[in-house]
Amino acid sequence: MNDKEKPAAAATTTKAAPTYWLTRFVILRLLGFVYFFAFLSLARQVLPLIGSDGLLPATSFLRGAQTVLGSKTSAFISMPSIFWFGISDQMLVALSWTGVCLSLVVTLGFANSILMALLWALYMSFVHIGQDWYSYGWEIQILETGFLAIFLCPLLDARPFPKRAPPVVIIWLFRWLIFRIMLGAGLIKLRGDACWRDLTCMFYHYETQPIPNPLSRAFHFAPRWMLRFETLWNHLVELVAPWFVFNPRIARHIAGALLVSFQIILILSGNLSFLNYLTIVPALACFDDSLLARVLPKRLVLHAKNAAEKAQPSRAQNAAAICVACVVGLLSVAPTLNLLSGAQVMNGSFDPLNLVNTYGAFGSVGMERNEIIFEGTSDATISEKTVWKEYEFPCKPGNVLSRPCIVAPYQPRLDWAIWFAAMSEPAEYPWVFHFVWKLLHNDPGTLNLLDKNPFPDKPPRFIRAQLYRYHFAPPGNPQHAWWQRTLVGEWLPPLSIDDPDFRRVLAAQGWLKNADAAR
pLDDT of residue 424: 95
Rounded to two decimals, what is the model's pTM?
0.94
pLDDT of residue 11: 40
Backbone torsions φ then ψ of 403, nearest 5 degrees: -70, 140
pLDDT of residue 17: 87
* 15 DSSP assignment: P
Q: What is the mean pLDDT of each run of 10 residues along the chain (519 residues)?
A: 46 70 98 98 98 97 93 93 97 98 97 98 98 96 98 95 95 98 96 94 97 97 97 97 96 98 97 97 97 96 93 88 97 95 91 95 93 97 94 96 97 97 95 98 97 95 98 94 98 96 94 64
- Measured CA to CA in angstroms, residue 287 lies from 22, 169, 260, 388 at distances of 9, 14, 11, 56
* CB contact at 8 A, 189 and 230: no
Q: What is the CA radius of gyration of the chain?
A: 26
pLDDT of residue 516: 63
pLDDT of residue 312: 85
CA dihedral angle for residue 298, residue 301, residue 307, residue 313, rounded to 10 degrees: 180
pLDDT of residue 360: 92
Class of residue 237 by CB neighbours under 10 A (exposed 0-12, middle 13-18, buried 19+): buried
* CB contact at 8 A, 62 and 432: no
pLDDT of residue 474: 96
Amino acid at 189: K
DSSP sequence for 25-81 = HHHHHHHHHHHHHHHHHHHHHHHHHHSTTSSS-HHHHHHHHHHHHSSHHHHHHHS--
CA separation for the pair 308, 304 (Å, rounded): 6
CA separation for the pair 82, 97 (Å, rounded): 16
Distance of CA 229 to the CA centre of its chain: 26
pLDDT of residue 514: 52
pLDDT of residue 221: 97
